[in-house]
Amino acid sequence: MRKMICAAMLSLYSLLASAQVSVNMGEDSPLRKLQMAEIATANLYVDSVDEQKLVEDAIRGMLEKLDPHSQYSTPKEVKQMNEPLQGNFEGIGVQFNMIDDTLMVIQPVTNGPSEKVGIVAGDRIVSVNDTAIAGVKMSKEEIMRRLRGPKGTKVRLGVVRSGIKDRLTFTVVRDKIPVKSVDAVYMIRPEVGYIRIGNFGATTHGEFVDALERLRRQGMSSLVLDLQENGGGYLQAAVAIANELLQQDQLIVYTKGRRVPRQEYRAHGDGRFMDGKVVVLVDEYTASAAEIVTGAVQDHDRGFVVGRRTFGKGLVQRPIDLPDGSMIRLTIAHYFTPSGRCIQKPYEKGKQREYQMDVVNRLKHGELTNQDSIHFADSLKFKTLHQGRTVYGGGGIMPDYFVPLDTTRYTPLHRQLAAKSIVIQQNLRYVDSHRKQLKKQYPDFNTFKAQFDVPQQLVDDILAQGRKQKIEPKDDQELQCTLPYLRLQLKALIARDLWDMSEYFSIFNEESAIVMKALEVIKN
């Protein structure tokens, strides 16, 4: 442990030296004091202590007194956090869900290792290297651990397939599996393309460019860029996306901190969609890197923003890798939109819970449902850089067109059915037993979208399963309010399981007030 601490200190000293930060290691220095406290506790305390946890708790204690986004992550947490942003992991390449304690394949990854050996949608993986994983109450995390492994290693899978009497065996060679950050790409209307980005990772820019090119070949002249529920990611990825939309030398974002000089990021003028209408969709969960793109589009009057006020994360974190694979993400600067807005929402140091409850408080105060409940001080008013429109800083990005949250659609009944996984489980059963019939009746997605209606039996099965778990509507009015959204969700889930996420959002978006408002803005 002491060697690890010393190694961490040496690594940190070199980092601080590069940032021209002096470190006092005298007898009265805080760092020396902390080191002595750790050594004394580890060696003299009456009971044995977990020295690793002792150090981790000390680090967490320091960071918790700072801003809400400075944090410590264990090696395991670092790996889980990085996978979606790095754009790949190593495994067998299937999308799956659990049904009756059994792993059912939703879709094999296209050209992935499982598809190459013949695993298909609907297959149930019941064993891994002769160890049963079905019907044994094994956790989803443990199953994933057994399926994943280094690229090039082999894993033997036992598979049960509908219509096949005997169990099938496949030997899969694990490989790099791509993790997409662009969730959906399709033409939502003639000449109007739709791209939804889930987060900003290492592969986001390449995925976005491919999406733009695909849509332009289909005649796109206007773009709906959906950043709803996008929690952010890499700043450089956000800069690269904004570069595709802005003119040469236009400022995208700048950062500035106590020890970090101002650094500007500007467009290079080689973007692939610098002309044509753009509408960005946001909500209360749009944060960080997603707010950088939104702020740049709004400040340069490049397009309009539709939705609800964004989360308000305007702090830049620097990752500091520690020798055991753990990491400190330390806030080192604020970022500012091109008009000079800092959109970080207010916070009190050390009061993490109040900060995390902000979205709930917005709902209680009526902000998510009523634009008139949102008030900004005059000091938070800024002007866009070309048309001089009023925009606001100090706590997220306020859209140009506000769309209230419809709180009537997602009823308590629906929330309980979803929380207990009843909706997803019954949907999986339906698709599993009707997959061939559905594919034959609806050979392409457009036919499905136009003609498919969710069968009443599926809805009845969900309600019946809910009653078994004492989940029932309080009255007929709640039931009638629940059914339209439930049917919409089921149709979208079935489309996802038969095709992919673009088809899922193609169904959902037709009933989205934010998306419909965006199309109205483009049209007008």
Q: At what angle do helices 204-217 and 235-243 cross, to 10 degrees?
A: 20
To the query of whether residue 299 is one of the catalytic residues in this protein, the response is: yes
φ and ψ at 139, to 5 degrees? -70, 155
Q: Of 70, 114, 181, 288, which one is the catalytic site residue?
A: 288
CB-facing half-sphere around the CA of 392: CA atoms within 13 A: 17
What are all long-range contacts of 140-148, with beta carbons under 8 Å and residues at least 24 apart? 140/98, 143/103, 144/91, 147/91, 147/92, 148/89, 148/90, 148/91, 148/92, 148/174
Residue 362: what are its φ and ψ, rounded to 5°? Answer: -60, -40
The C-alpha atoms of residue 387 and residue 302 are separated, in whole angstroms, by 10
Query: Which residues are 131's β-sheet partners?
Result: 128
- Hunting for tokens 């709180």 — which residue is that? 407
Choice among 70, 73, 313, 400 that is catalytic: 313
Catalytic option among 183, 299, 400, 500:
299
Q: Is 432 a catalytic residue?
A: no
With contact defined as beta carbons under 8 Å apart, do 234 and 85 qualify?
A: yes
CA atoms of 72 and 66, how far apart (whole Å): 12
- The pair phi, psi for residue 456, each rounded to 5°, is -60, -30
Buried b (16+ CB within 10 A) or exposed e, 110-120: eebbbbeeebe
Decide if 73 is catalytic. Answer: no
C-alpha distance from residue 126 to each of 25, 297, 311 (Å): 58, 49, 42
Looking at the annotation, which residues are catalytic? Answer: 288, 299, 313
